[in-house]
């Protein structure tokens, strides 16, 4: 009788051990599946906002005139993290430019996934990449039509250069809640001469937006517009593109 009880107790312990093992395996499998599924939506941690301002006024006419290929390159760089590209014209105080292009973050391929998951992730990457490309092409057409084409018209004379007005628009943009979560770059292609009604003075970035940002200047001739933010200066606009590209290479 004692042997029988011992046998029953032993069987119960074995059954209990097997049950615990099965439960643990179930939990691990579920966690692994959830982790693999969640990795399908993992992209770079922080998105980017690149704001571009182009000076079209007479005092800046001797500088190389950029075209939409410059904007397109910035868009493709930003698409590496997802985020926003905004293009402004720097001219009259009445200017209402500020054309936006939102780009979705592209997930990174995870070689540790099983082949079926890799195929699913690859499909998602291709879909988002194609969607971003379509957005960029439509955005470039809009920028060309609304900003570059009208202002490159030799028959149109632009009298004023409201750089301070451009900076005010940037300050409003940088205070938007969504933008505050992004890595922000402000590129200003201008000589820095604020000119209104024949009165010239160095441009100033008076506002203090909540978002941290890097102010990138090319063609600038006057004193720096502010001393409270990080400023990068480039002899040629291509330097800004190289700067963006190198930052993405280092951080992503």
Q: Considering the chain, what is the average pLDDT of its residues?
A: 82
**Euclidean distance between CA atoms 215 and 230, whole angstroms:** 6
Question: Same domain for 11 and 116?
Answer: no
Which range among 74-88, 106-120, 237-251 has the greatest average pLDDT?
A: 74-88
Per-residue pLDDT averaged across 222-233, rounded? 92
> Do 94 and 118 share a domain, yes or no?
yes
Give the residue with greater pLDDT, 114 vs 9: 114
Question: 35 and 54, same structural domain?
Answer: no
pLDDT of residue 16: 53
User: Does 152 lie in the same domain as 90?
Assistant: yes
Based on the fold, state whether residues 93 and 169 are members of the same structural domain: yes
> Same structural domain for residues 145 and 63?
yes
Residues 110 and 143 in one domain: yes
Percentage of the residues of the chain whose pLDDT score is greater than 90: 54
Give SS3 for 137.
helix
- CA atoms lying within 13 Å on the CB side of residue 212: 4
Mean pLDDT of 217-230: 93
Confidence (pLDDT) at 27:
40
Give which of 132, 112, 124, 127 is closest to 47, Cα–Cα: 132
pTM: 0.79
Q: Which residues share a beta bridge with 215?
A: 186, 231
Same domain for 79 and 185, yes or no, is yes
pLDDT, position 155: 56
pLDDT tens sequence across 198-212: 899 999 998 889 889
Q: What is the DSSP letter of 60?
A: G
Tell me, yes or no, whether 135 and 237 share the same domain.
Answer: yes
In sign, the C-alpha dihedral spanning 101, 105, 109, 113 is negative
Poorest-pLDDT segment among 68-72, 119-123, 211-215: 119-123
Query: For the purposes of burial, counting CB atoms within 10 Å of the CB of 10, is it exposed (0-12), middle (13-18) or buried (19 or more)?
Result: exposed
Q: What is the pLDDT of residue 121?
A: 85
Burial of 112 per CB tally in 10 Å (0-12, 13-18, 19+): exposed
Taking only the tens place, the pLDDT of each residue in 70-84 is: 999 999 999 999 999
* Statement to judge: residues 157 and 226 lie in one domain: yes
Number of separate domains in the chain: 2
In this predicted structure, what is the pLDDT of residue 6?
Answer: 41
Same structural domain, 137 and 34:
no
Q: What confidence score (pLDDT) does residue 35 get?
A: 41
| Beta carbons within 10 angstroms of residue 145's beta carbon | 12
Which domain does 68 fall in, by range?
48-251
Could you read off the pLDDT of 132-159 as tens digits, one per residue?
999 999 999 999 999 998 877 655 667 8
Same-domain pairing of 159 and 103: yes
CATH code, domain carrying 104: 3.40.50
Query: What are the residues whose beta carbons fall under 8 Å from the beta carbon of 19, sequence distance 6 or more?
Result: none
Q: How much is the average pLDDT of 194-199? A: 90
What's the start-to-end Cα distance of the chain, in Å? 70
pLDDT in tens, 23-69: 444 443 444 444 433 334 444 568 999 999 999 887 787 888 899 99
Q: Which of 174, 165, 172 is nearest to 212 (CA)?
A: 174
């Amino acid at each position: 009788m004692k042997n029988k009880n011992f046998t029953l107790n032993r069987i119960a312990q074995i059954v209990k051990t097997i049950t615990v093992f099965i439960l643990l395996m179930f939990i691990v499998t579920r966690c692994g599946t959830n982790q693999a599924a969640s990795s399908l939506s993992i992209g770079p941690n922080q998105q980017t906002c690149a704001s571009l301002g182009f000076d079209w006024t007479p005092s800046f006419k001797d500088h190389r005139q950029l075209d939409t290929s410059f904007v397109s390159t910035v868009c493709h760089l930003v698409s590496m993290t997802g985020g926003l590209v905004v293009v402004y014209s720097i001219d009259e105080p009445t200017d209402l430019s500020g054309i936006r292009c939102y780009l979705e973050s592209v997930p990174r391929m995870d070689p540790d996934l099983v082949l079926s998951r890799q195929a699913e992730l690859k499909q998602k990457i291709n879909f988002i990449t194609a969607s971003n490309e379509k957005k960029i092409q439509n955005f470039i057409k809009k920028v060309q039509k609304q900003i570059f084409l009208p202002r490159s018209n030799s028959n149109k004379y632009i009298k004023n250069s409201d750089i301070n007005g451009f900076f005010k628009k940037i300050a409003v943009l940088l205070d938007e809640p969504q933008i505050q979560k992004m890595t922000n770059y402000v590129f200003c292609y201008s000589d820095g001469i604020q000119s209104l009604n024949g009165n010239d003075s160095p441009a100033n970035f008076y506002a203090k937006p909540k978002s941290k940002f890097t102010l990138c200047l090319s063609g600038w001739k006057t004193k720096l517009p502010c001393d409270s933010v990080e400023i990068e200066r480039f002899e040629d606009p291509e330097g800004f593109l190289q700067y963006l590209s190198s930052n993405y290479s280092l951080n992503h």
